[in-house]
Structure 1
Amino acid sequence: MRGSLGASGFYGWHIVGFSALMVATTAPGQTAAVSVFIDPMLADLGISRSAISTAYLVGTLTGAVAMPFVGRALDRFGVRRVMAVIGAVFALALCALSAVSSIVGLTAGFVAIRMAGQGALGLAATTAVALWFDRRRGTAMGLVNAVGVSLISLAPVLLESLIAQTGWRRAWLIEGLVVAALVLPVALLGMRDRPADLGQRPDGRITDAASPPRPAWGLTRAVALRTPFFWTVTGGIAATGMLSTAINFHQIDLLTAHGLSTVEAAANFVPQTVANLVSTLGVGMLADRLRSRVLVALAMAFLGGALLLGTSVTPGLSAVALGVLLGAANGSIRAIEAATFPRHFGTTHIGAIRGVVTGVSVGSTAFGPVLFAVVYEATASYTPALLGALPLPLLVIVAAVFVRPPEVPAPGGRADAAGVGPAADTVALADG
């Protein structure tokens, strides 16, 4: 197995393809796909909209809490085994949702699909790519996220048709079977934990006497969490997740209040999706060449621009621009984190580090819609909420300007004895 796969070329691009498919397979756990089930379930189960919203909130927050543990499991047991377990849990949870009859069972189902679908499966897929690439990591991550997000965007339309034809219970069941059929074979037969498993090196570089393999290194999660750079990027992810989810959740109401029709308001998801795809791929490629701090500031500028434009948006080009800015902010910040954290923190403990980021990201999405709703009920306008949120991306921009990323080992460097980072021979990257 080692020789045959290794001889057929660099396996990392297979990992990119498999990981893109796995990101797409998170769709049943994403809000856009779940939202299609809400009205049919409300009608059949006889529960209130506030009750089902609360169940979804609990599910999202609980799923977020589990992400650091999933990240540590990836470091300890490898992507293949952990991804297989995630796929099994995700598939079973989706099948179980087809049989729910009470708010308790629904809440438990939401916990499982948000944990396994929205968080853990995507974390495992992108962590695999981080381990297989180094210099071209940004490009690889951009491809994975761009392809995955584009396929996720098709899910609501397909599910709407499926539910209309089969009913919501059978649609949950079909989703579970599809997830099992896709994730388990890819995890067990397609994924490989690290290039060394096949006698290869990151990026497919050739090993020879003049170019010895660079020793694996990595800061521990505890050390990474003490660096300002970690919290600068994570703060940007949290701000983007919370505020973009808030705007999306209230998008129809917000845009119709500014003169758009319901159809036009719903269609604003199209420029968001396109901008998300373009920025994910473009910023992923730029992350291999430009300073991290510049890209973080750019992503936050997109988010701040969306907040400002949301206060005065009108039908036509400004509405399209709002969607473009919001999509660009989302795609950019996620591409930055996925590409730069392995560079600055190493890969030895990257699962545990990115598990914290994913937990913060998932958790942040739970609060935005509630906060915007509270402000709207108090003021009868979304403008105070949009303007009140503006300091968040501005603070991240300021931090990005002044915070330096951690140094990384020089080509001949090594991690210290405790495995917490470079002990000597360090060199600053271009971000310095």
Structure 2
Amino acid sequence: MTTVRLGVTQTLAWASSYYLLAVLAGAVGRDVGISTSMVFGAFSVALLVAAGVGPYAGRIIDRFGGRPVLIASNLIFAAGLAGLSQATQAAHVFIAWAVIGVAMGGGLYEAAFATAVRLHGRDARRTITGITLFAGFASTIGWPLSAYLEGTVGWRGACVSWATLHLLIGIPLNALLPRAGNSEASTQAAAGKEEGLGLSVSQQRRAAVLMAYVFAVTWFISTSMAAHLPQLLLASGATLAAAVGIAALVGPAQVVGRVIEFTFLKRAHPLLSARLATLAHPLGALCIGLFGTSAAAGFAVLHGLGNGILTIAIGTLPLLIFGANGYGQRQGFLMVPARIVQASAPFLFGIAVERWGAGALWFSAILGLSACLALVVMTADMRKAPRAAEAN
């Protein structure tokens, strides 16, 4: 039941934050009197705030478990969304999203993964995968629901509705999570008995840098595609209808990727899964380069598959390499660069699209290959570790 509870609350958290403005940004801007780009600028502030909050939220989860942190995030989400519903000027929008950013720092995947690790120790991989399976439908549920609410009660009413869901659904479900320390796994994790691969200090630092780089690159690519994929497909020669339809394949493909991880790759080493996943986007870009628009659907599916698996790798790789002890705080620090580049990705990749058109895909493909290379280097380091036999 832990997986179900965390999966449902993560779906709620993502739908009411990360995916909210895709539907409501235009209405917010018109009503408040600011541009849509400024509304998304406020969202970028939320991502930066989340980057700063993440390590502290993770440290609290390491000490006390995820239950109090996730409940607090529901309260803060509700406060931020309620504040956004009352916005009448740009400053109000930015302040509201800064508050929501605090909730994102303690209420999205990193916090849920840390909660799972605190409860289950090194056996948390299956729970982490299950959480992402549920939350993979956040946009599928969130976008239509936000659109429906905007059409019936307006964007302000939609924000209030999401805030109410955090109070009526999020808090009760998170309150039902087991208390940390009730299981042998969580006791071992808290006591530091669940170690990683036994790397030396220098190897741990190198692995942390490489891992942070991989996470930053993959989040940059994911956010860039989310913002610009239809435009890229148009630049490659697709019609508007085809571009929108093909872009819509990414979401289901992500869920399929997580199902593949949950079934066929569940016994595979996480580093192998991650390496294969980082190659999916470059392979899709190569297909478009070789075959043009006719391969666009294949690109969208490959990108989605890889992105879905990498979401799980973000949770499982730190657990594998560093162990369960101190997982939450470490995860928060590892994700700081990813949050920062995520905030800047739409703008930076937008410049690449303006200059190179569909050729911008080669830029993202090279980044994907560099992430795969970083994982290859990490794999070589793991083989040198005392417990290398478990890494392959």
**Normalised by the size of structure 2, how large is the TM-score?**
0.87
Q: In the alignment, does 2:386 pair up with 1:386? A: no
Residue 119 of structure 1 deviates from its aligned partner by 5.9
Cα 1:118/1:79, change in 2 over 3 Å: closer
Residues 266-318 of structure 1, C-alpha deviations (whole Å, 9 max, x = no match): 223432112211212322456652233322211110122234445577555x2
2:277 to 299, 305, 309: 299
C-alpha distance in 1 between matches for 2:169 and 2:35: 34
Instruction: State the partner residue of 1:230.
Output: 208
C-alpha distance in 2 between matches for 1:395 and 1:247: 17
SS at match of 2:335: helix
C-alpha distance in 2 between matches for 1:225 and 1:430: 17
User: Contact 1:310/1:386 (CA < 8 Å) preserved in 2?
Assistant: no
Q: In the alignment, does 2:253 pair up with 1:275? A: yes
1:167 to 138, 142, 154: 154
C-alpha distance in 1 between matches for 2:380 and 2:72: 34
Cα 1:350/1:164, change in 2 over 3 Å: same
User: Contact 1:60/1:366 (CA < 8 Å) preserved in 2?
Assistant: yes
Q: In the alignment, does 2:334 pair up with 1:348? A: no
User: Contact 1:138/1:287 (CA < 8 Å) preserved in 2?
Assistant: no
C-alpha distance in 2 between matches for 1:404 and 1:312: 31
Residue 384 of structure 1 deviates from its aligned partner by 4.1
Instruction: State the partner residue of 1:359.
Output: 336
Q: Which stretch shows the higher mean deviation, 306-315 or 282-291?
A: 306-315
- One-letter code aligned to 1:83: L
Which is richer in helix?
2
Q: In the alignment, does 2:392 pair up with 1:428? A: no
Residue 134 of structure 1 deviates from its aligned partner by 5.2
Cα 1:301/1:30, change in 2 over 3 Å: farther
- One-letter code aligned to 2:103: A
Residue 369 of structure 1 deviates from its aligned partner by 1.1
**Normalised by the size of structure 1, how large is the TM-score?**
0.80
Structure 1 unaligned runs (5+)? 1-13, 204-213, 409-421
Q: Which stretch shows the higher mean deviation, 18-27 or 149-158?
A: 149-158
Instruction: State the partner residue of 1:255.
Output: 233
Residue 48 of structure 1 deviates from its aligned partner by 1.9
C-alpha distance in 1 between matches for 2:248 and 2:362: 25
Instruction: State the partner residue of 1:80.
Output: 67
- One-letter code aligned to 1:139: R
Residues 376-421 of structure 1, C-alpha deviations (whole Å, 9 max, x = no match): 34x2x3334322333322222222223248879xxxxxxxxxxxxx
Cα 1:395/1:50, change in 2 over 3 Å: same
C-alpha distance in 2 between matches for 1:290 and 1:296: 10
Q: In the alignment, does 2:88 pair up with 1:101? A: yes
- One-letter code aligned to 1:109: A
C-alpha distance in 2 between matches for 1:106 and 1:349: 35
SS at match of 2:80: helix
Over the matched positions of the two proteins, sequence identity in percent amounts to: 20
Cα 1:262/1:179, change in 2 over 3 Å: farther
Cα 1:184/1:356, change in 2 over 3 Å: same
C-alpha distance in 2 between matches for 1:312 and 1:168: 44
Residue 326 of structure 1 deviates from its aligned partner by 1.6
Residue 28 of structure 1 deviates from its aligned partner by 3.7
Q: In the alignment, does 2:181 pair up with 1:192? A: no
- One-letter code aligned to 1:345: F
Cα 1:386/1:88, change in 2 over 3 Å: same
Instruction: State the partner residue of 1:4.
Output: none
C-alpha distance in 1 between matches for 2:265 and 2:316: 7
Cα 1:254/1:85, change in 2 over 3 Å: same
User: Contact 1:407/1:429 (CA < 8 Å) preserved in 2?
Assistant: no
C-alpha distance in 2 between matches for 1:313 and 1:237: 30
User: Contact 1:80/1:192 (CA < 8 Å) preserved in 2?
Assistant: yes
C-alpha distance in 1 between matches for 2:202 and 2:153: 48
Cα 1:244/1:124, change in 2 over 3 Å: closer
C-alpha distance in 2 between matches for 1:160 and 1:313: 36
Residue 329 of structure 1 deviates from its aligned partner by 1.9
C-alpha distance in 2 between matches for 1:59 and 1:258: 33
C-alpha distance in 1 between matches for 2:250 and 2:15: 20
Q: CA RMSD in A?
A: 3.0
Instruction: State the partner residue of 2:299.
Output: 322
